[in-house]
Amino acid sequence: MRFQFEHSYQQLPDCFFSRVAPLPASQPLLVIFNHALANTLGLDWSALSDEAIATALSGVTLPENADPIAQAYAGHQFGHFTQLGDGRAHLLGEHRTPQGERLDIQLKGAGPTPYARRGDGRAALGPMLREYLISEAMHALNIPTTRSLAVTATGDPVYREDVLAGAVLTRVAQSHLRFGTFQYTASTGQPEFTQHLLNYAINRHFPDCANHDNPALAFLQAVCDKHVTLVTDWLRVGFIHGVMNTDNMTISGETIDYGPCAFMDTYHPDTVFSSIDRQGRYAFANQPTMAQWNCARLAETLLPLIDSDTDQAIKQAEACVNGFSNQFTRAWRQMMANKLGLIDSEAQDDSQNNSQDNSLIEDLLQWMQTNQADYTNTFVALTAEHLPDDSIYHTREFQQWHSAWQTRIAPHLPAAKQTMKDNNPLVIPRNHQVAHALSAAESGDMAPFMALLFVLQKPYQTTSDTKKYQSPPAASERVYQTFCGT
């Protein structure tokens, strides 16, 4: 399997990375391979055996022209700054696709690096399959995300609370530049390193910024814009990342690192699943605020490049970061309007529509919270021609809301319904179903995993199995906590 590797990251100063080879798997076995993604990447995989693919993607025999490195970065983890880096990930290179796109190819769980901090550098099969499943589901939901090319079992034990089967995930990303990469360079106290990194990031992700009067400020604004869009999309589908530390925020605006993530069943803005988020810092409704906080940390690293006058630099950076809130509010209201089919009508006054639409959105969310309604299924029910025969929809409060909503969308009903269908998935990776699929996979049965993956790859289409995966968890099936798997 031949990658068209380039290695532009290695042109940065040596402090940005360490060259380190993956630890070869003792008994590599291909668990799952993303044929569709491989085709998009232009990889010639069809003539290869599973054994050959597993060998190439588990550190045994590196692909031709690979130059594995681990990247250095820092980050605020739950508000506390620390030096980090790829402790168990090896960037093999930047693959050029037939379309000319440059994409990182990384092995995750392929052994320790100089940044492992006494860790073993290994990953367990369950968490790697989980990232594969969720990242591919997010891609199908039209949400920016890293992708998963393969999961390969290593045949080596991983020692956590129990002895687990080891695995390596092959991750594909626009890049692995993180907010924490800039924090790392800023911590060196050498502004020229930050300038090198900024030039690299602009060239790779935001080339238009190079022509701006203030490239650093334009770059900051572009990154903020990306994360307004990203977090709005997360809230659209009820996604809770769980660990929005600055080292888990990409410059490209892709979702990355799916350790303790989860999808909300019953709607509540304070929903938290991550076992390590004990204070609810990264709760569902807190995610926009935390994204803005993270953007502020990125802005701090760019101050010397925004203006040589520190006061002026702070003033300009603050104006950019402070605009995040209003920008997000507009994006969120438009997203919620799309979920409810609230299309603007030329025959009605815009200000009247805005006020009415805001009330419809807020009243529905309050009703959902009070009645513990399922977030995804409520919007699916509204999109359908008729409401389900469920007592929750027969209350006086809901009927009054429903009547007002129907009146609002009536003048443009077909377009409203189509907009709703485009923005409301029929299925999401429900936590109890993910847990069941992973449990079976860890026991050697991949059938439940593959069945769930098939449905999640078509979240806006009705398939023969859609209904099966729409059911919220029974009381005995509820997942109350998720774990990062490291």
Backbone angles phi, psi at 323, to 5 degrees: -75, -10
Report yes or no: 300 and 185 within 8 Å, Cβ to Cβ: no
Report yes or no: 220 and 298 within 8 Å, Cβ to Cβ: yes
Measured CA to CA in angstroms, residue 315 lies from 126, 224, 309, 410 at distances of 46, 16, 10, 47
User: What pLDDT is recorded for position 161?
Assistant: 87
Token reading at 469? 């995966």
Strand partners for 5? 95
Strand positions, DSSP E, 247-369: 262-263
Torsion over CA of 81, 104, 145 and 150, rounded to 10 degrees? -110
User: What pLDDT is recorded for position 346?
Assistant: 45
Cα angle vertex 85, ends 141, 155, to 5°? 75
Give residue for tokens 């080292």: 247
User: What pLDDT is recorded for position 486?
Assistant: 52
Which helix or strand (DSSP H or E) is residue 102 part of? strand 102-108
User: What pLDDT is recorded for position 347?
Assistant: 43
Which distant-in-sequence residues (6+ apart) come within 8 Å of 183 by Cβ?
Answer: 73, 74, 75, 76, 81, 246, 297, 298, 301
Q: Where are the alpha helices (DSSP H) in 151-214?
A: 179-187, 191-205
Report yes or no: 175 and 251 within 8 Å, Cβ to Cβ: yes
* Residue 108 assigned ligand-binding role: yes
Of 104, 247, 265, 277, the active-site residue reads 247
Backbone angles phi, psi at 433, to 5 degrees: -75, -40
Supply the DSSP symbol for 276: T
Residue among 317, 286, 295 at smallest CA distance from 304: 317
Determine the 3-state secondary structure of 220 from DSSP: helix
Token reading at 117? 């901090």
* Residue 156 assigned ligand-binding role: no
Q: How far apart are CA 439 and CA 449, in angstroms?
A: 9
User: What pLDDT is recorded for position 351?
Assistant: 60
Torsion over CA of 461, 467, 468 and 474, rounded to 10 degrees? 120
* Residue 171 assigned ligand-binding role: yes
* Residue 178 assigned ligand-binding role: yes
3-state helix, strand, coil in the chain (%, to 5): 50, 15, 35
- Angle between helices 191-205 and 179-187 in degrees, nearest 10: 160
Question: What does the pLDDT profile of the chain (486 residues) look like in tens digits?
Answer: 899 999 999 999 999 999 999 999 999 999 999 999 999 999 999 889 999 999 999 999 999 999 999 999 999 988 888 888 999 999 999 999 999 999 999 999 999 999 998 889 999 999 999 999 999 999 999 999 999 999 999 999 999 989 999 999 999 999 999 999 999 999 999 999 999 999 999 999 999 999 999 999 999 999 999 999 999 999 999 999 999 999 999 999 999 999 899 999 999 999 998 877 878 899 999 999 999 999 999 999 999 999 999 999 999 999 999 999 999 999 999 999 999 999 974 444 556 668 899 999 999 999 999 999 999 999 999 999 899 989 999 999 999 999 999 999 999 999 999 999 999 999 999 999 999 999 999 999 999 999 999 999 999 999 999 999 999 988 877 776 666 665
Measured CA to CA in angstroms, residue 18 lies from 30, 72, 354 at distances of 28, 8, 53
* Residue 87 assigned ligand-binding role: yes
Measured CA to CA in angstroms, residue 421 lies from 50, 232, 339 at distances of 38, 17, 8
* Residue 120 assigned ligand-binding role: yes
Backbone angles phi, psi at 301, to 5 degrees: -75, -20
247 is catalytic: yes
The residue type of 40 is T
* Residue 357 assigned ligand-binding role: no
Residue among 376, 347, 380 at smallest CA distance from 262: 376
Report yes or no: 220 and 294 within 8 Å, Cβ to Cβ: no
Token reading at 411? 């003048």
Supply the DSSP symbol for 139: H
Q: Work out whether the CA dihedral 429, 430, 435, 437 comes out positive or negative.
A: negative
How many of the other CB atoms lie within 10 Å of CB of 467?
12
How many of the other CB atoms lie within 10 Å of CB of 406?
11
User: What pLDDT is recorded for position 277?
Assistant: 82
Give residue for tokens 């907010």: 179
Measured CA to CA in angstroms, residue 419 lies from 336, 425, 467, 473 at distances of 11, 12, 21, 28
* Residue 121 assigned ligand-binding role: yes
Token reading at 241? 């990342």
Report yes or no: 201 and 177 within 8 Å, Cβ to Cβ: yes
